[in-house]
Structure 1
Amino acid sequence: MEPVTIALALAKAAGVDDWLKEKISGTVTGKVASKVIDLAKSVTRKDTPEEALQTVSTNIVYANELKKQMLQNEHELKMAAYEDRKDARQTYRIHPQQADKIAERVMRYNLPFIVGLVIINCVVLHFFRDDAALLAAVSNVLGMAIKSLFDERKEVTGFYFGGSMDASERER
């Protein structure tokens, strides 16, 4: 299994997968996964990530201890996520073409998609106003899609205009 997959499974077994994603602002990456796996191996005293995952998944005491350790090491997990983003900025300086192409597409197409989804939501509200369960389900899905599209735009804007730079780079 890949480290990121194991780290997510460990966080889920400990009941902190959503917390972890929130604290690191998104996707679990290599350095964050390594920190989570190291904590799990330390807690379970197992040599491999797979053994640690098996132990945490089957033993609530170890799951709770891993949760406690992850909460106590929140700062280290955030720093690992920052280090991964820092590496992304370094890579961008060398190979910007693909990132620029993706960013251009996000900025060009996300807003029309958002407008389209809002229109679809309005149509659904009109035609399905008598079916509360279906209306709620469709509106929630559309709302999540709209939020995700807005978040993508925010991330691109932040990357290009300093949101993901550290202070020393912004002052230049």
Structure 2
Amino acid sequence: MAEPFRLLFVCLGNICRSPAAEGVMRALIEVEGLAERVAIRSAGTGGWHTGKLPDQRMRSAAQNRGYDLSSRARQISENDLRDYDLVLVMDQQNLRETRSFDRESRFAPKIRLFCEFCTDHEVNEVPDPYYGGEQGFEHVLDLLEDGCRGVLQHIRQQSGLV
């Protein structure tokens, strides 16, 4: 069997947006029967939440939609940029900070904004819901569901998955 396509989602602290993207994408590929063909993780540009579960508000909102967010926060590393086929960041700040881990600018083509893959929403960034109310978490999940469908289509085109 071929190596799985390796996908990494990145946000600031790895407790809201990127673990939610990981959960949404994991559910999507399981429904499509591709769990063995796509490896998914998430990370944060900062390491202050390392080892923690996702924010309780995000876990609750995701659970209401049937998503399991049980990954533990970790910080991105230069090795991640080498090891993953596609690194999707949630906003411009995450893009700048993730690119700073690419000291030799070898991985720029695979570091992209998540919202490039959205088709139902015309936004450039997934906003950080951490300091907002409940509706912010719902909006983030709407964006993630939209974009993850586009990411799956992209992976299928790039790696020949049926």
The answer to whether the superposition gives a TM-score over 0.5 is no
Question: Larger Cα Rg: Structure 1 or Structure 2?
Answer: 1
Whose RCO is larger (CA < 8 A, sep 6+)?
A: 2
Q: Which has a greater percent of helix?
A: 1
